[in-house]
Amino acid sequence: MGRIGGGLLAVNIDPRKKGITTVGTDGDLRATKDNPINKGINMADAEGDLAAAGVDPINKGIDQGRKKGGVGGANLDPILKGMRIWGVWEAVFGPWGPLDGLQSLLRAVFLTLLPLLKHQLYFPPRRAEQNLWLAQFREQFPAVAVRLEFTQEEIDSILRDLGWLLWVRRDLRAALEGGAKAATAYERALCGPQGGPAAAPPTVVLPVPPEIPPVPPGALKRIFQFIQRIKNRPGYDIPTGKMLGIEDNHYRSSSPVPTFRLRVERGEKGEVVIIKYSRQGRKAVYVETRRGGGDWEPLVLGPLTTSIHTDKRPLLNPGQPEVREYRMRFWHDSQPGGDWTDISSATVSP
């Protein structure tokens, strides 16, 4: 399309880029780009309207920036388990003039109730903490189930759900992720430069599944529904809930375990593992590692007190990739203590 008087100056549709670019809309959008390759929509410089807005399903979030006379900033991010979208409310309904007091009240109610619509407050937001919570509930529930007058069939049913959830979320997933990383490293070695000894292909050892029949979909929802039944029992009290872990509010800054993530990079003498971790306000953390089928051993002698550490250890077998596993706990009173995190792994190549 060429020039259209008082309208679009130029429109370009390019199927090679799988996108649509619109340039120079007088008094309207100056640039609009819809690009499925990036899986996102970016709108830039809409005069008199949104200055910038991005919708990115990869990040699973919606960021809106600087709406002139409207939204100051809004972020919708389910990964972070938080919603700050009051700005969108204002953009839709506009300023309320003399009803500012009512607006403030509704804003407070809106932001207070919104997180409750998606989350059980006793269920932690992070996967590692969720697995610890499931394990604690499975361990503690049988001790109070009979006192709360649940039948053996009900007890067995909820224990089956817990058993399969923990096996899939913790055991099976860790094995598959470790195998995928090992396969990637092996492929990288085969496609890399020539020379060096031949490396054996990686093996994946799957954990033994629970010795109980598989459960139908919806196990986690059934657990949440069952917990509501527990709280409605005549014999239920707050100490019982504390023991089961169903009276806590995990949507706060503190955490029962550290959090960390791994990244493999090329160093001067081969690949290294970058460990970025959060001490969650504590003074230090303690890290153990294992590799080559060996025992757990300290990564360093003593605690780590910063937020990043680089594992530069040489390979046990030079020329062959290896999977390194890590786990972490807090360090306090001159010794490690508290619960361990879930195990994370990284594959290091020559």
Q: Are 262 and 326 in contact (CB under 8 A)?
A: yes
Closest CA to 166 of 120, 228, 226, 215: 215
Cα of first residue to Cα of last residue in the chain, in angstroms, is 55
- Indicate whether 323 and 276 sit together in one domain: yes
- Indicate whether 101 and 140 sit together in one domain: no
Residue 253 is predicted with a pLDDT of 54
- Indicate whether 206 and 225 sit together in one domain: yes
Q: Are 42 and 33 in contact (CB under 8 A)?
A: yes
Confirm whether 254 is domain-assigned.
no
Confirm whether 3 is domain-assigned.
no
- Indicate whether 194 and 163 sit together in one domain: yes
- Indicate whether 39 and 104 sit together in one domain: yes
- Indicate whether 304 and 333 sit together in one domain: yes
- Indicate whether 281 and 205 sit together in one domain: no
- Indicate whether 189 and 230 sit together in one domain: yes
Residue partners of 149: CB distance under 8 A and separation at least 6 = 233, 235
Q: What is the pTM of this model?
A: 0.42
- Domain stops at, among 83, 117, 151: 117
Strand partners of residue 33: 21, 42
Which amino acid is present at 22?
Answer: T
CATH number for the domain including 294? 2.60.40.10
- Indicate whether 131 and 222 sit together in one domain: yes
Residue whose entry in the numeric block shows the structure tokens 């995928």? 180
- Indicate whether 273 and 343 sit together in one domain: yes
- Indicate whether 318 and 216 sit together in one domain: no
Cα separation, 105 vs 83, in Å, equals 18
pLDDT by 10s per residue, the chain, length 350:
444 444 433 334 444 444 333 333 333 433 344 444 344 333 333 333 333 333 344 333 334 333 333 333 333 343 333 334 444 444 444 444 444 455 555 445 444 444 433 468 889 888 888 999 999 999 999 999 999 999 999 999 999 999 999 999 999 998 898 889 989 988 988 898 888 888 888 888 888 999 999 999 999 999 999 999 999 999 999 899 999 999 887 665 567 889 999 999 998 888 999 999 988 888 899 999 999 878 999 999 999 999 999 999 999 998 889 999 999 999 988 899 989 999 999 999 98
- Domain stops at, among 62, 87, 117: 117
Confirm whether 263 is domain-assigned.
yes
Domain of 268 in residue numbering reads as: 259-348
Q: What is the 3-state secondary structure (H, E, C) of the chain?
A: CCCCCCCEEEEEEECCCCEEEEEEECCCEEEEEEECCCCEEEEEEECCCEEEEEEECCCCEEEEEEECCCCCEEEEEHHHCEEECHHHHHHHHCCCHHHHHHHHHHHHHHHHHCHHHCCCCCCCCCHHHHHHHHHHHHHHHHHHHCCCCCCHHHHHHHHHHHHHHHHHHHHHHHHHHHHHHHHHHHHHHHCCCCCCCCCCCCCCCCCCCCCCCCCCCCHHHHHHHHHHHHHCCCCCCHHHHHHHCCCCCCCCCCCCCCEEEEEEEEECCEEEEEEEEECCCCCEEEEEEEECCCCCEECCCCCECCCEEEECCCCCCCCCCEEEEEEEEEEECCEEECCCCCCEEEEECC
Count of structural domains, the chain: 3
- Domain stops at, among 244, 271, 287: 244
Closest CA to 133 of 266, 223, 216, 32: 223
Confirm whether 343 is domain-assigned.
yes
Confirm whether 249 is domain-assigned.
no
Cα separation, 313 vs 263, in Å, equals 15
Confirm whether 251 is domain-assigned.
no
Q: Are 204 and 176 in contact (CB under 8 A)?
A: yes
Confirm whether 70 is domain-assigned.
yes
- Indicate whether 105 and 41 sit together in one domain: yes
Confirm whether 252 is domain-assigned.
no
